[in-house]
Each structure stands twice: as C-alpha cells, then as structure tokens.
Chains A and B, each alone.
Chain A
C-alpha cells in the first residue's frame, strides 16, 4: 500500500493526548482518501445530532493517495470534513497548494481532532513529533500573518501551514481554513468548527520519502498528463482563468445579478476575464506538482486600492461583483483580499451581502438596522460589510450566521431573499435557466455548490435543452457526481478534469501507479458512487430529508427578467419533483431519497445499513424536518 502513509493521527485537544492508528487497507480502497476517507472517518468517530460547535464534534483532515507524488495537480491536495455549521449535515472542502504534500511527507493520511483546547492552540507536526503549541500570540492574526509568524518561530521557511482567520475564531458560519496564504478549504464553514476547538493552525514539516512501486510506469503517465495539460484541455486555466466565465455566462443569460434578480450584468466587459488579464494579472503561479498552473495573481495598479495583490477566480469575482451589483474590479479584488485576510468563504460572503442588499432594497431592513446604505452596486458598503461580518460587528453579527439562519432571525419575508441550498449560499450559475445544474445543486450533499457535480456542463455546452426539466437528467447528474467525488477523494484538481480523456480509466491508472493497488475504472466508479451514498447517509443520520433537496425561493418564483435567451425561465415545483424523482430512481434510492438496502449491499456498505433501516421500514419518520440549532 504505497502512496498512502498508512496511518491516521488522532489529536484530543481537550486532554492534549495524541496517538496514531494504522489506516486499514480495506478502508483506503473503499473510500480512497480526501473527502471520501474523511467522511468515513467522520462518521465512524462522531455521534449523530451533535452541535457543529460542540467539543464532541470531530474535525477531520485528510490527504489523498496521490499527495506527495509527482502526479500533476495530485501531489498537493488535502481536505477537511466535519459537521457543517451551515448545513447541519456533512461539511467538506478541499484545497491545493503545498500543505497536503507536506502532511503526506510527514507520514499521515489523516488527522482527527477531538475535543476543545483550553486556550488558543496550534498543532505542530514535525514528522513523528507532535506538539500542541500555545497560540495566544497568533489569536486575531490573519492567516497570512499566522503563517509567517509560525515559520519564524519554528525557524524553517519550508514549514507549511493551514489556519483560520478572525472569522473562524469568532465562529462566523462561513469561515474557511486557509493554507499557503491564498488557498482555501472554503465552503461549508469548517473554519468555524476549527475555531470552536480553539485550534488556530496546523503547521507541518515532513521529511519522509514518498516511494512508488514502479518509476517508469508512473513517469509515462505523468508525461502523458503533462502533454495534455499543455493542450486545449487546460487552455482556459492557463490563459484567462475561470474569469473567462464572465462573458460566456453573461451571453447565455446565466450570470446571476443583484442576488439572483437578473441574469445579465450590464458592464460585464469591465469585470471580464479579458479585462482582468489585460489590466491586473501580474503573474500566474502553480501548486506543488502542477503542470497547468492557474493561480492568477492580480495587482491593482491605481486608485484607492492600489497595490492590492491577490489571487482571483470567477466565483468570488461574481459573488462580490455582479451578485452585489458591483462592476468595479478594483473593489472586487480588494474584497477578495479582505476575504482571505479575515478567513471567510469568498463566495458565501458575497452571497450574504447580496442577501442583505436585497432586504434593504425591499424594505425589510432599514439603513439604521443595517448600519450602512446597502444599495446594490455600493462597493464601499460591500468592503465594509466583509469586515463587519468577519468581526461580527453590528448587523454583521446577524449576517455572520449565514443567509439562512440570518433570515430566520430577521423574520418577515427575509427567507425569500436568502439564496441558499441546505444553508450554503449559492454560487455563480443562474440555475433558473440551467436545469440539469439545478438538479445537481439541489441534491449536492454539502449544499449549494457547482463543485459537487459540474452539471452546468451539459447545459452550457448545449448538449441538452437547458430550459427543460425532463427524465434523463438524473443520470447525467449521477455520472458527474460520481466522477467529482473521486476527483475530490483521490484529490486531483477539478481544473484538470478535462485532461483525463478516459475519465475513471485514466484516474484509476494514476491511482494504481502510485499506490501499487491495482484498481480498474469500474472499481473506481463504484467507489465514487459509494462516496456519494456515504455523503447522503451522513445527512440522513443528521436528519436531512427530501425537503432539504430544495432550491432557493427566488430560483423557483422569480423568472429571469432580462431580454435574451433565458428570459422567463425559472424552476417550478413540478420541475423539481420530476428531476428529484428521476435522480433518486437512478441512484437506487426511495421517493424520500433514502438509499435502498439493496443499493447499500451492492456498494459493499452493509455496515452502514443501520442508518437507514428504521427510516425505510417506517417512512413517516423520515419526513421529519431537520431542526437547526444554534
């Protein structure tokens, strides 16, 4: 079992005890690594119904089987898993950079954190030496300052750090875990779970060899991937980057504006990938082992935000830009930089502020309540609000709960304007006119997210009628979901997905060449399906039901108003029911979205049948609505 380090580190923050246990080969083969292994470890080491911020709720950190190897984009990944303070179901997020490489070199497939440290603490992993260090002097520092300070005090520049910012410390429900200063495990609020444990940072130095079974076999595959990554399959990421989406989606009437009011942004040419690259991009850099390089480093050349230097991608650009009515790229880049410094999910922060702006526009909150003139397009207010949410100041304290819970607190009709799924704010695809994607978003086990399924693909490419809900979409979503969970478990970069020409077959070849565990494409596909079912099972255990596979109120009630191809489109209840029924059937789940025992047996998950047995036998029990606690 090469590739894998073969051991899991356990850290009890309450008692200060640490110990390691071997990683069982069967578990590795079945759940691969990354989010798959992470979710299984979470399930096995947690009790149902925990408050995400209670000390009993474990936080799991994993690497992938390819981490530490030369597989391009695969050598550097890591993932966090816990119960999400936004969805109250499974939370997971992965990131790239250099941190995952180092954790694997130190010799760990995963780390499980239990309990809560008495005072601010950071974990220092120096190969086999594990120490809990005082982090009082780091509390309140930005992730970037924290990384620098730790490297300085431990006197090694090559130490890699994953840590939280102030938002995580203050239990802001959209807090992320940052690594290598500009990379983030962004979604589902796991930075707040880390903060609830008084865990500021994880610092790693690893010096162990990553051995491989057969050098020539691996190098041949790496060479093939290098060549593909220089070709058209990765062109977008090497040139304009994901901001290329701005003009593409805008032309389709599929870029949400003003909190999912419109779907066409006027002034898109001033926030486009083309404009960004011409005016702001100073350099494109890469993560460890990457042969594509995509990280567009921008520098604001003039004006009040002059000198701001930050990475940018389409999603945060959209979230703090068009979704807040903002067309000022200088300010959007400043907002991105601030999000990284406070340590908040740069997508969700835009979704929360646009939600507040919508409330303001519709008279649900006043200027006095908001503390600011929250008009759409007021970029100064967006920047100020990023700070207030992250610091829990004034109205920001309510918004720091996330759009869903904030709406419950505000009352009136606020919930209609909270554009979220399972409590997680939407991302930058207007699914009113992308109905395959709408299904993918609705069923995503971590809440609203494009990265769980990529089901916008067939819609945007015109392979299906994107305005129509019809049978067959369930199969499309299932197929991309199964592939995407493998991408996040084996941990390669989603941006490289186009370079696996043969899908699972290419990924299985890489997995086998690194680990020496021979796996074929069908076995890997089944693992992908298994991991999707695992995500579902955790959510079922935590009380989520079919009702939670919902879409935002605006997506179902406000037709796209803009002239153009998408005009008038929205998703009706009938559409959604048809899509869900089709999807559940393809998945082998019942009408309530609960996996049938036959399906679990088929996937080798008999050991988890206990989660669904009662609910399958007494269907009325499964209709209980999840209680969101505080």
Chain B
C-alpha cells in the first residue's frame, strides 16, 4: 500500500466527540442510520455511543488513522483509504464480512451490517456529517487533527486561568 502524503493527512477532517459534552442520547445513531439505511437502527449506525458509567459517555466514529490498520488487516483488499478525505472506502463485492478489520480497529468504529454481512465505516456523509449537524449538545465536531489539538490547548489554558484567578481570590 502506497503511503499517503503527510500534507494530505493534515487536511483530513474527522468526526470527534467531546465526552464532557456528550450525554449519551444516541441522536447521532438515529440520524446516521436514517441517513444511510432509511430506518432507525443502532446496529446499522456508523457511529456508536458508549455509556460506561453515568459520568462517562462518548460516541465513536472512524478516526481516519494513517496508515489505517483496518486497510492493512483486510485479506481481500476490500478496504481503501481516500487520499483526499481519509475515508475508508469499502468494496462490497470484495468484502466477505470476515471481520479482521473489526479486530484491527482500536476504536470499535467498524461494524458488520446485520443483513448484508459486509462491514460499514463512517464515510463523513460526503463532507457534511449528519451526526455533527444533529447533535443537540454540539458534542460532535467535524475537525482536522490540528484543530483538535488546538481545542485541547484552549481547554487546558482555561483551566489554568481559572485556577490562577481562584488562587488570587477572584472568582473566574
């Protein structure tokens, strides 16, 4: 597999969930399955929610890894990663549902379609992810990895700012 040029990877945008904002409502699953399958079904959604504890909620879709372990793991060359968007494209003719890719994915972002017996991965709705649009908490974002790290920097700076203000007796 040819390596994807690094400059391209930096432009890829992915669906990212902020667990601080996620409430576990699964609206993302509803809108995803409706968009892709014309029916409501959690199993057919390309994004899945996980509530491990009332305080721990997160929704997970494809992380656009590069190189992508799922692509490497596929014994039938059914998966390809788009250089332009990072989306994992599935060749339904080649995929036989063997699920090696599911095992290779560290994030549980790949699911087996219960009827078609081929795998399904988030395709970012051609650049307009519906889950991001419909998330009532704005917990989902469609961002490059650079913006993700920027957001983390803002969050940590805010925390430090608050601590500093509290230490000086001012309520931030």
Which candidate, A243-251, A279-287, A353-361, A528-536, is the interface stretch facing chain B?
A279-287
| Docked-complex contact B30 and A70, CB < 8 angstroms | yes
Q: A282-B55, A309-B54 are in contact. Are A288 and B39 (CB under 8 A)?
A: no
Residues in B with CB closer than 8 Å to A209 are 37, 39-41, 44
Q: Which of A68, A207, A293 contacts B137 (CB 8 A)?
A: A293
Q: Mark B29-48, 1 if CB is under 8 A from A, else 0.
A: 01100100111111110000
| Docked-complex contact A105 and B25, CB < 8 angstroms | no
The residue of chain B having its C-beta at the shortest distance from the C-beta of A180 within the complex is B51
Q: What separation, in Å, do the CA atoms of A362 and B67 have in the docked complex? A: 76
Q: What separation, in Å, do the CA atoms of A105 and B30 have in the docked complex? A: 12
The residue of chain B having its C-beta at the shortest distance from the C-beta of A225 within the complex is B136
Chain B min CB distance to A63 (Å): 13
| Docked-complex contact B42 and A291, CB < 8 angstroms | no
Q: Mark B43-66, 1 if CB is under 8 A from A, else 0.
A: 110000001001101000000000
Name A201-220 residues within 8 Å CB distance of B: 207-212, 215, 219
Name A57-72 residues within 8 Å CB distance of B: 68-70, 72
Residues in B with CB closer than 8 Å to A136 are none
Q: How large is the interface on B (under 10, 10 to 19, 20 to 34, 35 or more residues)?
A: 20 to 34
| Docked-complex contact A295 and B25, CB < 8 angstroms | no
Q: Which of A105, A215, A282, A292 contacts B42 (CB 8 A)?
A: A105
| Docked-complex contact B39 and A211, CB < 8 angstroms | yes
| Docked-complex contact B55 and A210, CB < 8 angstroms | no
Residues in A with CB closer than 8 Å to B57 are 285
Is A229 in the interface zone, CB < 8 Å from B? Answer: yes
Q: Which of A215, A230, A295 contacts B54 (CB 8 A)?
A: A295
Q: Which of A207, A215, A291 contacts B38 (CB 8 A)?
A: A215
Q: What separation, in Å, do the CA atoms of A287 and B23 have in the docked complex? A: 8
Chain A min CB distance to B166 (Å): 15
Q: What separation, in Å, do the CA atoms of A214 and B26 have in the docked complex? A: 21
Is B169 in the interface zone, CB < 8 Å from A? Answer: no
Q: A283-B54, A286-B25 are in contact. Are A293 and B34 (CB under 8 A)?
A: no
| Docked-complex contact B55 and A70, CB < 8 angstroms | no
The residue of chain B having its C-beta at the shortest distance from the C-beta of A181 within the complex is B54
| Docked-complex contact B24 and A105, CB < 8 angstroms | no
The residue of chain A having its C-beta at the shortest distance from the C-beta of B26 within the complex is A288
Is B5 in the interface zone, CB < 8 Å from A? Answer: no
The residue of chain A having its C-beta at the shortest distance from the C-beta of B114 within the complex is A207
Q: What separation, in Å, do the CA atoms of A209 and B26 have in the docked complex? A: 16
| Docked-complex contact A309 and B39, CB < 8 angstroms | no
Q: What separation, in Å, do the CA atoms of A285 and B137 have in the docked complex? A: 10
Q: What separation, in Å, do the CA atoms of A287 and B38 have in the docked complex? A: 22
Q: What separation, in Å, do the CA atoms of A293 and B138 have in the docked complex? A: 13
Name A542-576 residues within 8 Å CB distance of B: none
| Docked-complex contact B54 and A70, CB < 8 angstroms | no
Chain A min CB distance to B39 (Å): 4
Is B161 in the interface zone, CB < 8 Å from A? Answer: no
The residue of chain B having its C-beta at the shortest distance from the C-beta of A288 within the complex is B26
Is B73 in the interface zone, CB < 8 Å from A? Answer: no
| Docked-complex contact A226 and B136, CB < 8 angstroms | yes
Is B100 in the interface zone, CB < 8 Å from A? Answer: no
Q: A70-B34, A215-B38 are in contact. Are A293 and B43 (CB under 8 A)?
A: no
Residues in B with CB closer than 8 Å to A226 are 134, 136
Name A94-130 residues within 8 Å CB distance of B: 98, 105
Q: What separation, in Å, do the CA atoms of A209 and B42 have in the docked complex? A: 9
Chain B min CB distance to A86 (Å): 29
Q: What separation, in Å, do the CA atoms of A288 and B24 have in the docked complex? A: 7
Q: What are 11 sample pairs from A and B whose C-beta atoms fall under 8 A apart?
A: A70-B34, A105-B42, A158-B42, A209-B37, A211-B38, A283-B55, A286-B25, A289-B26, A290-B25, A290-B27, A295-B54
A-binding residues in B (CB < 8 A): 23-27, 30-31, 34, 37-44, 51, 54-55, 57, 114, 134, 136-137
Beyond A209-B41, A289-B27, 8 extra complex contacts between A and B, CB < 8 Å:
A69-B30, A69-B40, A182-B54, A288-B26, A293-B23, A295-B54, A297-B54, A309-B55
Nearest 10 CB-CB pairings of A with B: A209-B39, A291-B136, A286-B25, A286-B23, A210-B40, A70-B30, A293-B23, A297-B54, A285-B23, A211-B39
